[in-house]
Amino acid sequence: MAQTPKPRIAVGGIMHESNTFSKVKTDLQDFAGRLITRGDEIFAEFATSAHEVGGYIEGAQKYGLELVPTIVANATPADPVTDRALDTLTGELIDRLKKAQPLDGLLLALHGAMVTESHLGRRRRSAAAAPQGFGRRSAHRCDPRRPCQRSA
């Protein structure tokens, strides 16, 4: 009797916590300086970690899925991401997904509130229009007992 093939699930991610009030952008070298992991390196980097990707690996082993690693990138929480960085990373992710076909699914680690320079104006205007103490807080950088202050 022929064995049923394991479902092929791609895994990847692009993660960043953005501070929309900063004037300096996060570029590709900022991701490279923290973490850009490709292909099978993803398994070595995350297999035993307490990270979303580590959970994907553990779950795939438990439920008999074949994980197909693509790219995982993460920059230190900071300024909005440049379009060049996002386009480069998403372009590589898409290329790797195309080469990995056929796939049955995709698991993406997208932790963070990433903002890119193309979408900065809308975010900044909406935050400025919000009443004091509403829509301006982030559990990552503010004391919930006090209103957040804009950074210089």
Average pLDDT of span 31-49: 95
Per the CB < 8 A criterion, the answer to whether 12 and 91 are in contact is: no
Query: How many other CB atoms are found less than 10 A from the CB of residue 71?
Result: 22
Q: At 120, is the pLDDT very low, low, confident or very high (cuts 50, 70, 90)?
A: low
* Higher pLDDT among residues 111 and 87, named by residue: 87
Pairing of strands 8-15, 105-109: parallel
Looking at residue 85, its amino acid is A
Q: What is the pLDDT of residue 77?
A: 86
Looking at residue 140, its amino acid is H
Q: At 67, is the pLDDT very low, low, confident or very high (cuts 50, 70, 90)?
A: very high
Which residues does 58 contact at the CB level (< 8 Å), separation at least 6?
A: none
Q: What is the pLDDT of residue 136?
A: 36
Q: Percent of the chain having pLDDT more than 70? A: 78
